[in-house]
Every structure is written in structure tokens, then in C-alpha cells.
Amino acid sequence: MATTIDFSRYPLTGWYPGHMLKAGRQMQASLKLVDLVVELLDARIPGSSRNPIFDQLFRGRPTFILLNKADLASPRVSREWTASLRKEGKKVVFLDARDTRQTLELVPAWRRAALAERSKGRTALNRPLRIMIVGIPNVGKSTLINRLVASKRAAVGPKPGVTRHNQWIRLKGDVELLDTPGVLWPRIDSKEHELKLALCGSIREETVGPELLADYAWAQLSRQDQRDVAWDTYGLEKCPETPDAFLEAIGRRRGLLRAGGAVDPAQSAAILIKEIRDGRLGRLSFDPSPA
Ligand SMILES: Nc1nc2c(ncn2[C@@H]2O[C@H](COP(=O)(O)OP(=O)(O)OP(=O)(O)O)[C@@H](O)[C@H]2O)c(=O)[nH]1
Ligand SMILES: [Mg+2]
């Protein structure tokens, strides 16, 4: 019988740095300048990457939802989320923002929605169409914008908090895109929710603790359909019974040994977290399919 871990007994970090509060206020101020809001979610956690403050902030404004990093998510679970979000009346597109072809297909639909908004007289007619791109940290906002403009105008990187300020970027023709800093919300109410965000790179692993995050990664992997996980990455056939046994197996496979030959669990944890985020363990989703 495999171990179970009660993650709720670990304290919440409450991580909500001041720049996020400021960024949220700036988004609200920018709202009157834009015709359309595009919200990026992480396709691996379609429920847990939705920022509840956006619902209040953008109430009544047309919003497109993109589930980015779809290349890393389970295709089966993604199909189930698509059906459920469409039932809610949302327009949903699963996306790999690094793929130019996929990103360019988005613009005509955005343009139509932005023009429809203008026809209601809410924003001025004699200026470019303006689209604000929002989402939690590290979800791929700046990557998407760079693909659309075919240049590296926005800074991108594999950690949360790369974009620190709003930045307008002109797309060919009459469209301007507003890149915004990733924002979370003041109170994330469960430890598992924090750990999911950390596993997907929206909260830094140092903030939650890499070894606790590795335990959580193990728990997530043990819950997956075992056929979906690329266990052979670490020379395994199935999920080890405990997180410690898992880190031991990873360390042996990768030769992460301390003097004396014992495995260094901290190094194994770091490798595991990085390789899950890079998709080396297969296409995995961490929010269960909606009911
Ligand atoms: N696999 C995969 N990686 C992606 C995708 N989109 C972005 N990335 C990677 O995710 C990381 C974060 O991308 P950014 O564009 O900096 O994310 P961001 O949302 O602007 O992040 P902040 O500015 O920190 O809020 C980078 O390493 C990108 O290469 C995607 O669709 N698939
Ligand atoms: Mg960015």
C-alpha cells in the first residue's frame, strides 16, 4: 500500500508580493483603454490557474480564454475540460504559444470580438485595436506576444515574475497588445492549490520548499493513470511506493551521489521538478477532469 500525505497540514505561504497588487491596479486602470482581454490559463491546471480577481476586475468585458502549454497537458483530460468550459459559454482554445501557426490563427477572432465591442461605443474608434493579455505568472503571456509580432520584444523566462511592467507592443496592421505582469491573488486557500501552482512554475519552488514540492509531485504522479507517465525516464516501471524511494531511484539513475555514495535527495528533487515542468515525464494534467 503506497503512502498518502496530508498536504493540508503544511502552512500556506500566502505569497502575494507587492508588485502583483500594483500590477492588478494597473490592469484595472488599463481596462478603459482596451477593447478585449485575453486570459491565459495553464492547460495542465485549467481550474487552478484561473485568477478569481479577474472575474471581478473584467466583469462584463469580452474575454477570451487560452489554455496555454497544451503540449504539456494530458490530451484526454484537456478534451474533458474543453467540453466543460464550453458548457459555461466560454470560448476555449488549447494552445502551444511557441507555435507560430497556432498563434496566428487567434488574431482574426480577436479582431472580430474587439470590433464588435467598439461598435457598442465603449472605446474610441480612431485608434488601433487594443488587446490586454493577462494571466498568472509564467503561463506564457510574453511568449505568445513575441510569437505574434515575430520578434523578441517582450522578456520571457522559465520562472515567475519575468514581466514587471505593462508594455504595449504593436502588431502589424492596426492591433496593439498589452503585455502585463503575471498576478496571483491575495489568499490561495489550500496547500494543494499552492503546490499545483508551484509544480507548474507559477510560484517559485523555493517559496514552497523544493522537497515538499517533490513529495507533492510524487503524490500527483502516483494518482495519474500509470500508463500516461514516462517512468522509463528514470529507469522505472511504475510509481515507487514512497517519495523517498522515488528520489532515491532518480538519484541513482542520474548519479546524484554525495561523498560516500548516498543519494542527495535535494538534487533529485530539483531534477524531478524541472523535468516534470519540461514534459520529460509525459503529458500530464494536475487538475482532475471537471465533474
Ligand atoms: N512547453 C511550453 N512552454 C511554453 C509555452 N509558452 C511559454 N512557454 C515557456 O514558459 C516560460 C514562461 O514564459 P513567459 O512568456 O515568460 O511567461 P509569462 O506569462 O510572460 O510570465 P511572467 O512575465 O513571469 O508572468 C518560458 O520558458 C517559455 O518558453 C507553451 O505553450 N509550451
Ligand atoms: Mg511575461
Q: Which residue has the cell 509564467?
A: 138
User: Domain holding 245: CATH number?
Assistant: 1.10.1580.10
Q: How many domains does the chain have?
A: 2
Q: Is residue 123 part of a domain?
A: yes
User: Domain holding 118: CATH number?
Assistant: 3.40.50.300
User: Looking at 86-197, which runs of residues are DSSP E strands?
Assistant: 92-95, 129-135, 167-171, 175-179
Collapsed DSSP state (helix, strand, coil) of residue 229: coil
What is the rounded distance in angstroms from the CA atom of residue 59 to the CA atom of residue 48?
Answer: 19
Single-letter amino acid code for the residue at 286: F
Residue span of the structural domain in which 258 resides: 190-277
pLDDT for 2: 59
Q: Is residue 290 part of a domain?
A: no
Residues with Cβ < 8 Å from 124, sequence gap 6 or more? Answer: none
Same-domain check for residues 224 and 137: no
Same-domain check for residues 71 and 148: yes
Single-letter amino acid code for the residue at 141: K
* Cα atoms found within 13 Å of the Cα of residue 52, Cβ hemisphere only: 6
Residue 143 Cβ contacting ligand 1 at under 6 Å: yes
pLDDT for 291: 75
Distance 144 CA to ligand 2 centre (A): 9
The protein residue whose alpha carbon is closest to atom 8 in ligand 1 is 140
CA-158 nearest atom, ligand 1: 27
pLDDT for 30: 94
- Tens digit of each residue's pLDDT (9 = 90 or more) over 262-283: 999 999 999 999 999 999 999 9
Same-domain check for residues 149 and 264: no
Q: pLDDT below 70 — which residues of the chain?
A: 1-2, 122-125
- Mutation test of ligand 1: which of 153, 156, 177, 202 has the most ligand atoms closer than 8 Å to its C-beta? 156
Same-domain check for residues 52 and 173: yes
Query: What's the grid cell of residue 215?
Result: 513529495
Residue 202 Cβ contacting ligand 1 at under 6 Å: no
Same-domain check for residues 136 and 250: no
Query: What's the grid cell of residue 119?
Result: 461598435
Q: Is residue 207 part of a domain?
A: yes
Beta bridge partner(s), residue 129: 175
Same-domain check for residues 155 and 198: no
Residues with Cβ < 8 Å from 111, sequence gap 6 or more? Answer: 129, 175
Q: Is residue 134 part of a domain?
A: yes
Distance 42 CA to ligand 1 centre (A): 10
The protein residue whose alpha carbon is closest to atom 9 in ligand 1 is 140
Cα-flanking dihedrals φ and ψ of residue 110, to 5°? -65, -45
Same-domain check for residues 45 and 171: yes
- Tens digit of each residue's pLDDT (9 = 90 or more) over 243-257: 999 999 999 999 998
